[in-house]
Amino acid sequence: MLPRKPIQDISVIDVAGDIDFREMIRIKDTIGSLIEKDRTKVVINLKSVDHINYLSIGVLIERLKLLRNLNGDLKLSGMSPFLRDIFKVVGMDRVFEEYTSLEDAIESFDDDWEGDGTSH
The whole-model pTM stands at 0.87
Domains and CATH numbers, the chain: 2-110 (3.30.750.24)
Confidence of residue 34 (pLDDT cuts 50, 70, 90): very high
φ, ψ of residue 10 in degrees (nearest 5): -110, 130
What is the edge-to-edge ordering of all strands in the sheet holding 73-77?
2-3, 11-19, 41-52, 73-77, 97-99
What are the tens digits of pLDDT across the range 86-118? 999 999 989 999 999 999 999 999 865 444 444
Distance CA 106, CA 43 (A): 7
- When pLDDT is averaged across residues 55-73 and rounded to a whole number, the result is 93
- Percent of the chain exceeding pLDDT 90 equals 77
**Which run of H or E residues covers position 85?**
helix 81-89
Per-residue pLDDT, averaged over 64-81, amounts to 96
